[in-house]
Amino acid sequence: MEDTHWVDRAEYPFAPHWLDTEGGRMHYVDEGSGPPIVLVHGTPTWSFLYRRLIKELSGSYRCITPDLLGFGLSEKPEGYGYRPADQSRVLSRLIEHLGLRDLVLVVHDFGGPIGLSNAVDHPENVRALVLFNTWMWSLKGDRQYELGGKLMGGPIGRLLYTRMNFSPRVILRSAWAEKEKLTKEVHAQYLGPFPTPRDRRSTSVYARELLGSSDWYEGLWNRRDRIANLPALILWGEKDSAFGKQLPRWRELLPHAEVRTFPNAGHFVPEEVDGVSALVFAFLARVEQVNAHDTGSRP
């Protein structure tokens, strides 16, 4: 069992839930009742990233927020692959296990391809999408990702990630546009899941798989038409040095999406921007209104 003494229960007061999966025991939050919302994190975050959304949306919705294997309160099994395709299978297992229907997907960072894989496979089961800075296509050929991916996905990167806890200690902090918004208390919640080199393997694999899973990402992109007409809300930090320039690709894929950009926010919009929950709540209310109108107008 993971040592969770570091968890700030005042900030994160949610009851634990568990699912035994192919790779290990996965922790997830299941709060509220109503239409289901599945919130999928990236690296090096966990369900703590979405705590404000969970608190404010769970009065009207059922918020299911897993800690993907290797992150947060979930197990960190040594023999597990941690590739996005592996994590996507486990996420799909959770959705099937809970019998979630007509769900909303909220995704960020690596949670984009991991979560959207389920939407591409089952678009009939997805009501709407909410996207924070993320992607869903191969990054090969882009000089920025090629250089970063080769460095961080190689032996030097593996050493930095596993021995120095580079992902939550350095990269996460650098991705905040206004560093003072990352308090020591909040930062501690992202350092807590990774006390030893063994616990940090997932972050190292993700660095490698930024390019290593390119064929899998491209497979998702080649089926993008399956989600192109879903209602979507894009909430985007413009000062994101990792994915900030990817917004035009999303506008191309989701031409009818509602887009809100934040000029003073970096990569971690759910943490950096106040009022995100209200924006998501208003968007979902509009989606429900449209669905109700469409249903009522059918003969």
- Catalytic residue set: 109, 240, 267
Give every CB contact of residue 285 below 8 A, 6+ residues apart in sequence.
none
Asked if residues 245 and 157 have their Cβ atoms less than 8 Å apart, the reply is: no
What's 126's DSSP letter?
Answer: E
3 state SS of 4: coil
12: helix, strand or coil: coil
Sheet containing 103-109: order of strands? 17-20, 25-31, 62-66, 36-40, 103-109, 126-134, 232-237, 258-262
CA distances from 155 to 110, 150, 204, 261, 286 (A): 21, 9, 10, 36, 48
CB atoms within 10 A of CB 181: 16
Residues 6+ apart with CB under 8 A from 145: 139, 210, 211
Give me the residues paired with residue 65 across strands.
Answer: 29
Spell out the residues 6+ positions from residue 112 whose beta carbon is closer than 8 angstroms to its own: 40, 42, 131, 134, 135, 136
Task: Compute the half-sphere exposure of residue 84: CA atoms within 13 Å on the CB side of its CA.
Answer: 33
